[in-house]
Amino acid sequence: MEEKIKDLIAAFLRVPAEQISYNTVIDRTAVSSSITLHRMYAKLAEEGFIVADYWNIKTFSTLVERINGNGHATSSVIQDVVVNTNAIPVHRHAVAPAVGIDIEEVTAMPRTNDFREDEFYKMNFSPGEIAYCILQPSPYASFAGLFAAKEAIVKADNVNRSRPFNTIVINHDPEGKPTYPGYDISVSHTNDLAIAVAIHTETSLFASEKNVANVQQPSNRSNAKWLFVLSFIISLVALFIALFK
């Protein structure tokens, strides 16, 4: 079994399978992009090796333990989150406005003849998101944009790190603007790159703190808007540099 797992992940790590040992690092730092990491675990799932909470797997030994069922994710974040695809994740503490920025290469998205059946797309996008992207002029660029938005949301509030990406569901308003509860989101893409900015604007999620949140909301929202604009400008500069480097 271990040899098969090595063969499956070797292409994503870009190292020969025989060079993979228990101490080999296989997390985000070992692959070319976040998309590549998610593709690796989608490939494992496709072959019957379904791994939960792979976001905190650092080495090959941990991966083997998790697949064998004797390794478990350990994170206080998981205890503090109630997963609900239609609501904001519930925290025990107030959340200060924070920003997340992510850039992804469109070419990193795996090619497929059926987005609805491909393991990568099923693991990272909801049926509604898949339906939306399929109808866009450039489906792969649209998928890359949504993926970047999810990464940006995670970077803005790491409590989302333990959530499967297909439960972080990004919708669109009547004007086509991406929306997610508790966040301001902006997504842009070219044929080659997708960039997303997400800013967490919630100040509190407890009813006992509702009055305080209502008083602080205008100021916090205003500050968040300025931070959002500044972050988006920085992202555009990063995109420009990436395109012409």
pLDDT tens digits for range 187-238: 998 889 999 999 988 643 333 344 434 434 444 555 555 555 555 555 555 5
Quick check: 219 and 212 in contact, CB under 8 A? no
Q: According to DSSP H, which parts of the chain are helical?
A: 2-13, 34-46, 60-68, 76-79, 119-124, 127-134, 139-156, 210-244
- CATH code that applies to domain 2-68: 1.10.1200
Decide which of 177 and 239 is more confident. Answer: 177
Q: Which regions of the chain carry the CATH code 1.10.1200?
A: 2-68
Q: How does pLDDT run across 81-132, given as a tens digit for each residue?
A: 334 444 444 444 444 568 899 999 999 999 999 999 999 999 999 999 999 9
Supply the pTM of this predicted model: 0.76
Beta partners for 183?
A: 180, 200
Q: Which CATH class is domain 81-244?
A: alpha beta
Provide the pLDDT for residue 162. Answer: 87
- Residue range(s) in the chain whose domain bears CATH number 3.90.470.20: 81-244
pLDDT tens per residue across span 149-188: 999 999 999 888 889 999 999 999 999 999 999 999 999 9
